Structure 1
Amino acid sequence: MEMSIKWELKEMFDSLISAPKYHLALEGCLVMCVLWLLFHKSYKPESTKLTEKEKEELIAEWTPEPLVPDTPSDHYALNPRIVTSKLGKRIVIDGHDCLNLSTHNYLGFVENDKCIESAIKGLRKYGVGSCGPRGFYGTVDIHLELESRLAKFMGVEEAVLYSYGFSAISSAIPAYSKVGDVIFVDEGVNFAIQQGLIASRSKIKFFKHNDVEDLHRLLLEQADIDRKNPKKAKVTRRFLVVEGLYINYGDICPLPQLLELKKKYKVRMFIDDTCALGVLGANGRGVVEHFGVAVDDIDMICATLENAMAAYGGFCCGTSFIVDHQRLSGLGYCFSASLPPLQAAVALTSLETIENNNSVIEKLRQNCQSMHSLLKDIPYVKVFGEPIAPIKHLRFANNTNDHKLETKKLEKVVQIAQERGYALTVARYLDDSEHLLPKPSIRLIVNAILNDQEMKESAEMISQSFESVLNLY
């Protein structure tokens, strides 16, 4: 053993002696550079000693930034209206019993006896909540049943449940689109979509609201970029994101024209059908059924169960390939406690009610058209939104384009309406965070349980409230 070590040392010494001198010099320099980098500091801070007077002056001059921005005392968030009843057809707000024209209870299922009974049965069987994500003992049999029923209802292979409606689309977008990908999106999309776009860190290209020609222009520009750099184009994914029925506008996306561009330029299409589910289409399946297009042409559809279904949570649906990916990379699915089983029971009952008798959807459509006609007849009110949509945005006909003033005037309209027994609400946004801040409006929600007399009286009240505010300003 000792002889072997000596032999190896001798071999190394002989190799060192026989090596060219320039090689040895180069290796010596490299060793010195490594040692210098290891022990040398990148900078040497100057040793500055302040006097007590200088310290006091610096402290006196320093002004800390506020943790949150200053909020005016009259801000609506600091003065919330308090509800002390069910949020059904009628609602008690600050002691006023009002006809509810402000919550998204499109089909009136909040007070549906079957839905309430299902919630109670689910509560007794499963308890209040799951207290765990789907992958960690949060999956209950009723979740799987609801996913299966939703997929069948929407006419797709599979659906995945989220415990919070907002997180469905905002988790789904970054699950597929990453850095380097391109997303074409309508500039009027809701805040949940906007947060999903930010989380994706993709390149976002906004086109004008419901403007197919502007989208076409952006797609042509992207096609030109792809031709110039084909290598990059091969690894760049392209997505198109829209809403079926826009919550901030009350209008419907031009789906057939969008699909033509989708197929021509080979982009993946995601639709947030939150406001269209249970509303559009003969059976309430949303914008796809409304236009009669093939559901297979849409890569993914998202929606919440919190509007027409009167439950909690949301879902995404499409092919099994699309849905399975979310179970592994959808952050809202992987890390949030699962949907309370009792709410899954409510959603199942709502779904069964629609499937067994879709007359409630037809009744909603009739009410929407009737209310739209009544509102259009008010001379100093301008109504925005599709006649068949339950979302109506009301603005003054002679809008001043002064955002603050218009909001104040609309808030006064809401206050007068509340005092007269009608619940309205000003559409609220995070002004500094919205990509495109909509103009101030009252967001009026029509539901299927209103009768003709109530709608007529509501329109008269709105007319009188707007007139009263016009006289004040």
Structure 2
Amino acid sequence: MAVEDVIVEPWYMMQMVQAFLQAPVYHIVIEVLLIVWIIGLLFSKSYRIQERVQLTEKEKEDLLAEWQPEPLVPDTPEDHPALHPRVVSGKAGLKVVVDGKECLNLATLNFLGMLGNKRIEKAANSALYKYGVGSCGPRGFYGTVDVHLDLEDKLAKFTRTEEAILYAYGFATIASAIPAYSKRGDIVFCDEGACFAIQKGLLASRSKVVYFKHNDMEDLERLLKEQAKDDKKNPKKAAVTRRFVLVEGIYMNYGDIVPLPKLVELKYKYKVRIFIEESLSFGVLGDNGRGVTEHFGVPIEDIDLISANMEMSLASIGGFCCGDSFVIDHQRLSGQGYCFSASLPPMLSVAASEALLIMEEKPGIFEELRTRCKWLHAKLSSIPGLKVCGEPISPIMHLQLAAQSSRTEDTTKLETICNECMNQGVALTVARYLEGEEHLLPPPSIRIAVNVELTEDDINDATSVITNVAKMVL
């Protein structure tokens, strides 16, 4: 040990003792209490065992006798649709074979008739031989194939946005996009008639959800005004709170179109972001099928995010989102369906790309589709006992009972109509919902899907069958 250490150590101790003696009494008391508290934390248990009440043998027997176990699977009614499935053979094109009987197909969401298109099938088969069935991995790891990037580029150019991103499952597209942006503490103003995929996305976001009346912009503005008043009371919280408005281009459960110009007006007035789910309006509305923005002549830049699945107009599987680059890039790291799901099979990407090329080569197909929608809507509107819901140019229409009673009775009547129409060569389906989980359960209805390949004779024959069956049942 060095001589200096022997000299310094006693001096240092003396300085500490002197500082302790000169310190205020309250300072010493506080330090002692802190030391005692820390020692107490170190030796105390992290939990306390609560005293348990010991039951007698008689009490245990009584409790066991009262207990009634619930079944793992609840009893299913014998007439439940899941127990009596319809078996479809072959492709679900304009005509479909159901339970061995060929029917005119008004049930499949094949608006542009791309299912069974020979050109698309040839392109998909070529991709199958080149790439195999699937990529077997998420996009961010080893699941990105050149055809994915090619389709994303084509979708961005078609929608006139900066970028697009692909998802392997249509339902998961909007359900992943919502929680990628809206988090706990944010506010989402959503149409109460939004589809189930949107509802699942809202649940995953854990945001505050405020529902406005279906397609009612006045009610939305009322809620936005109320929120603006609350923001003024707490400006610090308002500064870090993001606000979104979530709608559908064409509503799956109702068949009507969102009044987009008024919505954009509210966006700039109340400083909110607009997300549009366009699964039904993409490939349907607008001169070139670009959707609700083209239909109303609204600049695409006014919309923050557009989402759509490719299972309606593009005869494929999966979905996509499109928008500004910084919006889309964010999903590549935070979109759950993108990050954690195996990527879209390459052959389905090629099929969607080919369908998109056909849409660009045949812009007149969209006007043809809307013409057939108007024909069918006019015919359905004249059926006694039924009322048609939805815009005349919407490819989705809902036939409801004009005189509604209980939900069970109405559903039974509509199912009877569908079954009898099926026997007479027209394939229809009752709209299905998850009762008990839907935010707003729509009235029972028959969901009608329009195909551009329908002829005027097909429409006349189908509506004639529906009219006769409705008269018989109602």
1:407 Cα offset (Å): 0.8
1:11 Cα offset (Å): 4.7
Deviates more, 1:146-155 or 1:370-379: 370-379
Amino acid at match of 1:268: R
Deviates more, 1:81-90 or 1:386-395: 81-90
The equivalent residue for 2:233 is 228
Residue 425, structure 1, aligned to residue 429, structure 2? yes
Contact kept? 2:112, 2:451, Cα under 8 Å: yes
Give the distance between the partners of 1:274 and 1:299, measured in 2 at CA.
16
The equivalent residue for 2:471 is 467
Tell me which of 53, 58, 61 is aligned to 1:56: 61
Superposed, which structure 2 residues align to 1:278-427 within 5 Å?
278-400=283-405, 402-427=406-431
1:52 Cα offset (Å): 4.2
The equivalent residue for 1:184 is 189
Give deviations 1:202-224, integer Å, cap 9, x for gaps.
12111111111111111111111
Tell me which of 211, 220, 244 is aligned to 1:215: 220
1:57 Cα offset (Å): 3.2
Give the distance between the partners of 1:37 and 1:69, measured in 2 at CA.
50
Give the distance between the partners of 2:171 and 2:10, measured in 1 at CA.
73
The equivalent residue for 1:28 is 32
Give the distance between the partners of 1:217 and 1:390, measured in 2 at CA.
31
TM-score (norm 2): 0.94
1:390 Cα offset (Å): 1.0
1:110 partner SS: coil
Superposed, which structure 2 residues align to 1:160-175 within 5 Å?
160-175=165-180
Tell me which of 81, 89, 94 is aligned to 1:84: 89
Query: Judging changes above 3 Å, is the alpha-carbon distance between structure 1 residues 11 and 135 closer, same or farther for their aligned structure 2 residues?
Result: same
Query: Judging changes above 3 Å, is the alpha-carbon distance between structure 1 residues 435 and 48 closer, same or farther for their aligned structure 2 residues?
Result: closer
Query: Judging changes above 3 Å, is the alpha-carbon distance between structure 1 residues 253 and 47 closer, same or farther for their aligned structure 2 residues?
Result: closer
1:392 partner SS: strand
Q: Which ranges in structure 2 are unaligned for 5 or more consecutive residues?
A: none
Give the distance between the partners of 2:150 and 2:138, measured in 1 at CA.
17
Give the distance between the partners of 1:80 and 1:5, measured in 2 at CA.
90
Deviates more, 1:72-81 or 1:403-412: 72-81
Give the distance between the partners of 1:132 and 1:220, measured in 2 at CA.
46
Q: Percent identity?
A: 56
Amino acid at match of 2:449: I
1:109 partner SS: coil
Give the distance between the partners of 1:348 and 1:181, measured in 2 at CA.
36
Contact kept? 2:414, 2:445, Cα under 8 Å: yes
Deviates more, 1:64-73 or 1:129-138: 64-73
Tell me which of 265, 276, 279 is aligned to 1:274: 279
Contact kept? 2:103, 2:425, Cα under 8 Å: yes
Give the distance between the partners of 1:174 and 1:465, measured in 2 at CA.
45
TM-score (norm 1): 0.94
Amino acid at match of 2:37: C
Contact kept? 2:384, 2:471, Cα under 8 Å: no
Give the distance between the partners of 1:207 and 1:68, measured in 2 at CA.
36
Give the distance between the partners of 1:296 and 1:21, measured in 2 at CA.
69
Give the distance between the partners of 1:445 and 1:97, measured in 2 at CA.
17
1:48 Cα offset (Å): 4.3
Give the distance between the partners of 1:376 and 1:444, measured in 2 at CA.
13
Query: Judging changes above 3 Å, is the alpha-carbon distance between structure 1 residues 60 and 345 closer, same or farther for their aligned structure 2 residues?
Result: same
Give the distance between the partners of 1:183 and 1:342, measured in 2 at CA.
36
Tell me which of 116, 125, 149 is aligned to 1:120: 125
1:238 Cα offset (Å): 1.1
Give the distance between the partners of 1:266 and 1:225, measured in 2 at CA.
14
Contact kept? 2:396, 2:447, Cα under 8 Å: yes
Query: Judging changes above 3 Å, is the alpha-carbon distance between structure 1 residues 420 and 202 closer, same or farther for their aligned structure 2 residues?
Result: same
The equivalent residue for 1:94 is 99
1:66 Cα offset (Å): 4.3
The equivalent residue for 2:200 is 195
Give deviations 1:229-288, integer Å, cap 9, x for gaps.
222221111111111111111111111111111111121111111001111111111111
Give the distance between the partners of 1:88 and 1:221, measured in 2 at CA.
49
Give the distance between the partners of 2:263 and 2:26, measured in 1 at CA.
69
The equivalent residue for 2:138 is 133
Give deviations 1:72-116, integer Å, cap 9, x for gaps.
232223332222221112222223222111010011111100111
Give the distance between the partners of 2:56 and 2:381, measured in 1 at CA.
74
1:120 Cα offset (Å): 0.5
1:342 partner SS: helix
Query: Judging changes above 3 Å, is the alpha-carbon distance between structure 1 residues 261 and 26 closer, same or farther for their aligned structure 2 residues?
Result: closer
1:71 Cα offset (Å): 3.2
Superposed, which structure 2 residues align to 1:442-461 within 5 Å?
442-461=446-465
1:335 Cα offset (Å): 0.8
Give the distance between the partners of 1:225 and 1:22, measured in 2 at CA.
46
1:315 partner SS: strand
Query: Judging changes above 3 Å, is the alpha-carbon distance between structure 1 residues 10 and 165 closer, same or farther for their aligned structure 2 residues?
Result: same
Give the distance between the partners of 1:404 and 1:316, measured in 2 at CA.
38
Give the distance between the partners of 1:169 and 1:298, measured in 2 at CA.
15
Amino acid at match of 2:470: F
Give the distance between the partners of 1:173 and 1:44, measured in 2 at CA.
44
Amino acid at match of 2:302: D
